[in-house]
Chains A and B, each alone.
Chain A
Amino acid sequence: MKELQETHFYLNYCRKITGIKLGGVEIMLYWNKDMECMPREQLQELQLRRLKETVYRVYSFVPAYKAKMDEAGVKPQDINSLADLKYLPFLTKKDFRDNYPFGLLAAPMSDVVRIQSSSGTTGKPTVACYTKNDINNWAEMMARGLTNAGATRESVIQITWGYGLFTGGLGGHYGAEKIGAAVLPASGGNTKRQVTLMHDYGVTMLGCTPSYALVMYEEFLQSGLKRSEFKFKSGLFGAEPWSENMRKEIENKWEIDAYDVYGMTELVGPGVAIDCAYKKGLHMAEDHFIAEIINPDTGEVLPEGSHGELVITSLTKEAFPVIRYRTRDLTSMNYEKCDCGRTHARIKKILGRSDDMLIIRGVNVFPSMVESILLQIPGIEPQYQLIVDRVNNMDRLEVQVEVSENVFSDEVRKMEELEASISRELNSGLGIAVKVRLVEPKSIERSEGKAKRIIDNRNI
């Protein structure tokens, strides 16, 4: 009995420090207060210890890392402070490609329990391997983010990010399960059914792309169901760029709180950085990652608060550690303590990219991928342009292809077949639906002889 009382006291004590009650509903403030609110000095000690371990790990187990470090003249023992990080060479998407599929693996394959892969790229997709610890850490990061977004054991969380090779679905799923919430692994597609599930199963929270939240709203309006019959309160949205205006739109229409999440396959998946209740930048899980901001042209590390390219080093990853990975995302970091109490630095909303990658419905699209697909179609010349629009809240990619004499026919049927076959190749190569439009030669805008490849009308 005494033991029970003590347990009860302990539970209440935990709630006092990690949760508050609002209108009888408990809201947890933190998933892991010790880590999330750790004083920065202590956090930096932890980071340095983990950084050294990671550097030793890759130098010892990954020939590609060893070669890069030897070339740069850096040895693991040269890393004695966080400031020494800048001596380590960068890792780029090309390194992932060059070492495809398992060249960057820093753990024995027998320790790997999961392989994920970036969706929809041609040639060589980006691979990510996870050990048991990697999966646990990833779930921990997502659990923090979901908690920030209002999830508790009582929550019913519908995950409509795709399940499978894409990191969204399983990333959200493991995080939600770790919290002890009820997970509805709906995966993507069939919006009508999604809304029905949400209504019938009393879903309190949604994990999906922001644009899909709006598509679901349109479907909800069509359904004739009453908003008061839903228990939907908040959502964690990510896997594509979105604006503050879009956040407001989702919040106003659905009458929920909308939270942002950042991540990418190369790093772990979603969960690298997540909004708190104050929504003033995404807290990076700094016990698992270190952020730097560099000048994308020179590679020089920029002082705190500067705007530049985000470079991330992993601290706890075992299977696929990343040292100074160039994300190509342009942003800045804020190291001030947040009003929420967290000490972890915040990434400002991503403002753009230092390369020409487009993110369309969660899928990474490079113009060069479109080009290589087109070149595989006989007779098609690589004169093309990508036009991205957001129609009814969904991203739409149109690829305009110039018609050369090699493929031109005086019969409409043949031209339509051509259009359909290009469309098919692009769909399967990129992993997203593409609308192909045939255009006249030289009609694609050329500036200084170089064709303008992307027109993004989304106003993100």
Chain B
Amino acid sequence: MAKQISVFLENKSGRLAHVTKVLGDAGINIRALSIADTSDFGILRLIVNDPINAYKILKEAGFTVSETEVIAVRMPDSPGGLASVLDQMSEENLNIEYLYAFLGMSGNEALVVFKVEDIKKAKISFDSKGIKFMEEQELYQL
């Protein structure tokens, strides 16, 4: 389980630079990110070391921000690692809204952030299938 910070951005030059500067100035480290965009706007998704502060600071800076529960899934950093996780999720009928990879590595493991439709169901399925995911505090300290 982890808290993701989502930020609404217009498709205009300098907007991403502004967000990252605001976070940088506050000493917040970005651990993972992805941007989903349309022709008009983008949604920036961030995993940071201090989501509570990051949320507050971005809000104060005037951004539209939200917190979202996501799961950081651990998998072997080798060919077929992600495929096997996705396969098992499909067997469990878990719907994925989106996913993106973590920037840092953790030993021989890769970390992928999943946003799923039903997070409680996902956790139970992961436990039963033996899919490992990272706890919140551990994730922020990476």
Contact = CB atoms under 8 A, between A and B. Distances in A.
Contacts of A71: none
Given A415-B38, A440-B8, 20 more contacts: A403-B41, A405-B66, A408-B66, A410-B4, A410-B6, A410-B43, A410-B45, A410-B68, A411-B97, A411-B98, A412-B37, A412-B43, A415-B8, A415-B43, A419-B40, A437-B41, A438-B40, A440-B10, A440-B64, A441-B62
Contacts of B8: 403, 408, 415, 438, 440
Interface string B1-42: 000101011100001000000000000000000001110110
B123 interface: no
Contact of B10 (A408, A416, A439): A439
A409 interface: yes
Query: Which of B9, B10, B68, B98 gathers most chain A CB within 10 Å?
Result: B10
A437 B40 CA distance: 7
Determine chain B's interface SS by DSSP, over half rule: strand
A442 interface: yes
Interface of B: 4, 6, 8-10, 15, 36-38, 40-41, 43, 45, 62-66, 68, 97-98, 115
A404 interface: yes
Given A440-B63, A442-B62, A410 B10 contact: no
Nearest to B98: A411
B79 to A, nearest CB: 29
Nearest to A407: B64
A136 interface: no
B45 A443 contact: no
A408 B36 contact: no
Interface string A212-256: 000000000000000000000000000000000000000000000
Determine chain A's interface SS by DSSP, over half rule: loop
Contacts of A416: 38
B54 to A, nearest CB: 14
A410 B40 contact: no
A76 B43 CA distance: 66
Interface in A394-441: 403-405, 408-412, 415-416, 419, 437-441
A415 B41 CA distance: 9
B18 to A, nearest CB: 10
B9 A440 contact: yes
B66 A410 contact: yes
Given A403-B8, A439-B10, A408 B97 contact: no
Nearest to B39: A437
A174 B78 CA distance: 79
Given A404-B64, A441-B62, A442-B62, A412 B38 contact: yes
A13 B94 CA distance: 89
B64 A441 contact: yes
Contacts of B38: 412, 415-416
Contacts of A405: 64-66
Contacts of A411: 36, 43, 97-98, 115
A253 B46 CA distance: 55
B6 A408 contact: yes
Nearest to B41: A438
Contacts of B37: 412
Contacts of B41: 403, 415, 437-439
Nearest to A410: B6
B64 A403 contact: yes
A32 to B, nearest CB: 54
B34 to A, nearest CB: 10
Interface in A105-146: none
B36 A443 contact: no
A440 B98 CA distance: 23
Q: What are the nearest 6 A-B pairs in CB distance?
A: A410-B6, A412-B36, A410-B68, A408-B64, A403-B64, A403-B8
A419 B38 CA distance: 11
Contacts of B63: 440-441
Nearest to A416: B38
B30 to A, nearest CB: 16
A441 to B, nearest CB: 6
A245 to B, nearest CB: 31
A189 B28 CA distance: 56
Query: Which of A410, A411, A416 gathers most chain B CB within 10 Å?
Result: A410
A79 B113 CA distance: 81
A380 to B, nearest CB: 13
A277 to B, nearest CB: 48
A41 B139 CA distance: 92
A441 B65 CA distance: 11
Nearest to A412: B36
A412 B62 CA distance: 21
B61 to A, nearest CB: 10
Contacts of B40: 419, 437-438
